[in-house]
């Protein structure tokens, strides 16, 4: 891991499953610590970033010293030198945004809006060289003007120049097969921020590009009870025959040309693909719904192959009623899409795994920042700071797959452990001799 010693350091607040973390890693940062209050999300983050120190805490209970201590532990795990307190190059985060969201009622009094103030507090106390704050376009609405100015003023008084405060960006323009409008605010300490620029040079990706090469899950009865399966030879050939660079990179057929840390994974394992069983009447209605239109009874939208998807939504957590996220209808098959298909649309590589249940998995995708958009934000910070990261060659193993399928109370008990060991269960091995770095 010594090759990572010269990479800049990032800490992810409000980390979720890790969309921002992955994008910043791909840009060239070592994400050494992450904060996530939901234990299910925290365990998924730990699985995909096993050398990152994860704090399963509410940020409102954290001091700067807590965050810096976690960062120091993560730096030791990466075998890179760390001072006390460690130097943080960028603090990143997407505070919960439902109070500003266009879905449902925008609420100036939503207590989750105050998480923006908590983000600003930690930026001011930790004083990283830069920060990146992601949120929904509703944040910029006139009704939130006083609150927004309050947050921005605190950051400016701490010495940060801000960029991205005047409008939103669309993730589709950054190589994501989804229309997803987001505000991305970059702050640079005693310097000028660089604008986000897209490195995507091809035609903007569509649902067809995202789903290309994925197996038809109806061929695997195992997926009625498990969220993963070893694919058969015909589907291995299907994956290899994909023509879009979007699908080929996410599937691991083509190697990434950015700075992410390679992962050792089984490329012949299809994950996050638990089948949803629909009744005959639902199947009939789904089949009768044209691409790009809404099914009138369920009000689910059917994806169009030649267009990017609509914004994937997250639903709500148990503290807000546990409402299921509305899952789009597959463009060809009369069923809702799987978590893996949603992850492809969102820009996650196939090695990246979400929680095994559909409810948690879809919620994690819908709540996260698409990694390609996050990568663009990371690259903007690198330009502003004049940093050039090093590529990494040594592959990193993923965590224990049992972490992805545990009950919330078990996750809560284990999520703060430095070394998590679960009791052995009768579960099929999920790696094989086909495991490769991707």
Range of the domain at 22: 8-201+369-385
Residue 401 lies in a domain: no
Least confident of 31-45, 85-99, 187-201, 264-278: 85-99
pLDDT at residue 321, rounded to an integer:
42
User: In this structure, are 91 and 197 located in the same domain?
Assistant: yes
Strands (DSSP E) contained in 70-198 are: 90-93, 130-135, 160-163, 169-170, 181-189
pLDDT at residue 430, rounded to an integer:
41
Strands 263-266 and 435-437: antiparallel
Torsion on CA atoms 362, 264, 12, 201, rounded to nearest 10: -80
C-alpha–C-alpha distance, residues 58 and 38, integer Å: 9
Give the residue among 236, 237, 254, 257 at the shortest CA–CA distance from 245.
254
Please give the C-alpha separations between residue 246 and each of 202, 208, 299, in angstroms, as whole numbers.
10, 10, 29
pLDDT at residue 409, rounded to an integer:
67
The answer to whether the bond into 91 is cis (omega within 30° of 0) is: no
pLDDT at residue 354, rounded to an integer:
98
Q: What is the mean pLDDT of residues 167-183?
A: 97
Model pLDDT for residues 283-321, shown as the tens digit of each residue: 999 999 999 999 999 999 999 999 999 999 986 544 444
Residue 393 lies in a domain: no
User: In this structure, are 270 and 168 located in the same domain?
Assistant: no
User: In this structure, are 338 and 378 located in the same domain?
Assistant: no
User: In this structure, are 220 and 279 located in the same domain?
Assistant: yes
Q: What is the mean pLDDT of residues 212-225?
A: 97
Phi-psi region of 179 (alpha: psi -120 to 50; beta: other; left: phi over 0): beta
Q: The domain that contains 256 carries what CATH number? A: 3.90.120.10
User: In this structure, are 33 and 135 located in the same domain?
Assistant: yes
User: In this structure, are 135 and 229 located in the same domain?
Assistant: no
Positions annotated as catalytic residues are: 97
User: In this structure, are 62 and 180 located in the same domain?
Assistant: yes
Question: Which pLDDT band, with edges at 50, 70 and 90, does 111 fall under?
Answer: low
Domains held by the chain: number: 2
Least confident of 70-84, 125-139, 188-202, 315-329: 315-329
User: In this structure, are 69 and 13 located in the same domain?
Assistant: yes
Q: What is the mean pLDDT of residues 195-219?
A: 96
Q: Above 60 in pLDDT, residue 327? A: yes
pLDDT at residue 421, rounded to an integer:
38
Strands (DSSP E) contained in 235-372 are: 263-266, 269-270
Task: Read off the DSSP letter of residue 293.
Answer: S
Residue 223 lies in a domain: yes
User: In this structure, are 163 and 242 located in the same domain?
Assistant: no
Q: How many helices (H) and strands (E) does the chain have?
A: 13, 13
Strands 9-13 and 30-35: parallel
Inter-residue contact 47 to 403 (CB < 8 Å):
yes
pLDDT at residue 370, rounded to an integer:
98
Q: Could you tell me the two tokens for 135?
A: 């949120």
pLDDT at residue 104, rounded to an integer:
45
User: In this structure, are 211 and 228 located in the same domain?
Assistant: yes
Instruction: Show which of 352, 385, 418 is a domain's final residue.
Output: 385
Q: Which residues of 190-221 are buried (b: 16+ CB within 10 A; e: fewer)?
A: eeebbebebebeeebbbbbbbbbbbbebeebe
User: In this structure, are 280 and 373 located in the same domain?
Assistant: no
Task: Read off the DSSP letter of residue 416.
Answer: T
pTM beyond 0.85: yes
C-alpha–C-alpha distance, residues 160 and 155, integer Å: 6
Residue 344 lies in a domain: yes
Q: The domain that contains 126 carries what CATH number? A: 3.40.50.150
Task: Read off the DSSP letter of residue 133.
Answer: E
pLDDT at residue 9, rounded to an integer:
96
pLDDT at residue 293, rounded to an integer:
98
Strands (DSSP E) contained in 244-402 are: 263-266, 269-270, 396-397
Residue 438 lies in a domain: no
C-alpha–C-alpha distance, residues 405 and 294, integer Å: 32
Residues whose CB is less than 8 angstroms from the CB of residue 210 and which lie 6 or more positions away in sequence, other chains included: 177, 246, 247, 250, 309, 341, 344, 345
Residue 158 lies in a domain: yes
Residue 399 lies in a domain: no
C-alpha–C-alpha distance, residues 342 and 210, integer Å: 9
User: In this structure, are 115 and 35 located in the same domain?
Assistant: yes
Model pLDDT for residues 2-27, shown as the tens digit of each residue: 344 479 999 999 999 999 999 999 99
Inter-residue contact 395 to 256 (CB < 8 Å):
no
Model pLDDT for residues 126-171, shown as the tens digit of each residue: 999 999 999 999 999 998 999 999 999 999 999 999 999 999 999 9
Residue 423 lies in a domain: no
């Amino acid at each position: 891991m010594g090759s990572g010693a010269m990479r800049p350091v990032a800490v992810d607040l409000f980390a979720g499953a890790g969309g921002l973390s992955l994008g910043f890693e791909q840009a060239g940062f070592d994400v050494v610590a992450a904060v996530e209050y939901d234990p299910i999300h925290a365990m998924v983050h730990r699985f995909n970033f096993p050398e990152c120190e994860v704090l399963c805490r509410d940020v409102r209970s954290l001091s700067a010293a807590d965050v810096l201590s976690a960062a120091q532990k993560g730096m030791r795990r990466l075998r890179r030198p760390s001072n006390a307190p460690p130097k943080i190059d960028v603090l990143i985060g997407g505070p919960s945004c439902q109070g500003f969201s266009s879905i449902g009622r925008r609420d100036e009094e939503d207590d989750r809006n105050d998480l923006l103030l908590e983000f600003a507090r930690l930026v001011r106390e930790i004083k990283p060289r830069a920060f990146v704050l992601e949120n929904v376009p509703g944040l910029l609405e006139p009704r939130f003007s006083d609150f927004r100015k309050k947050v921005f003023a605190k950051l400016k008084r701490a010495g940060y120049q801000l960029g991205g405060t005047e409008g939103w960006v669309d993730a589709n323009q950054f190589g994501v097969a989804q229309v997803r409008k987001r505000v991305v605010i970059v702050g640079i300490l005693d310097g000028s921020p660089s604008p986000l620029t897209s490195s995507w040079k091809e035609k903007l990706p569509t649902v067809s590009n995202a789903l290309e090469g994925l197996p038809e899950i109806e061929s695997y009865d195992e997926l009625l009870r498990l969220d993963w399966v070893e694919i058969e030879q015909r589907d291995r050939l299907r994956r290899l025959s994909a023509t879009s660079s979007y699908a080929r990179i996410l599937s691991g057929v083509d190697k990434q040309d950015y700075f992410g840390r390679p992962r050792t994974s089984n490329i012949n394992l299809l994950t996050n693909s638990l089948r949803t069983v629909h009744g005959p009447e639902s199947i009939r209605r789904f089949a009768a719904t044209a691409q790009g239109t809404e099914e009138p009874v369920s009000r689910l939208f059917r994806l169009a192959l030649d267009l990017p998807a609509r914004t994937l939504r997250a639903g709500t957590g148990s503290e807000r009623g546990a409402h299921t996220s509305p899952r789009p209808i597959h463009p060809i098959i009369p069923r809702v899409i799987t978590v893996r298909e949603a992850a492809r649309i969102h820009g996650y590589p196939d090695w990246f795994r979400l929680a095994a249940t559909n409810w948690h998995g879809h919620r994690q995708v819908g709540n996260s920042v698409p990694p390609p958009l996050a990568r663009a934000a990371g690259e903007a910070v690198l330009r502003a700071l004049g940093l050039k990261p090093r590529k990494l060659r040594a592959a990193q193993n993923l965590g224990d797959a049992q972490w992805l399928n545990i009950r919330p109370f078990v996750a809560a008990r284990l999520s703060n452990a430095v070394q998590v060991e679960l009791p052995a269960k009768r579960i099929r091995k999920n790696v094989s001799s086909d495991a490769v770095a991707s």
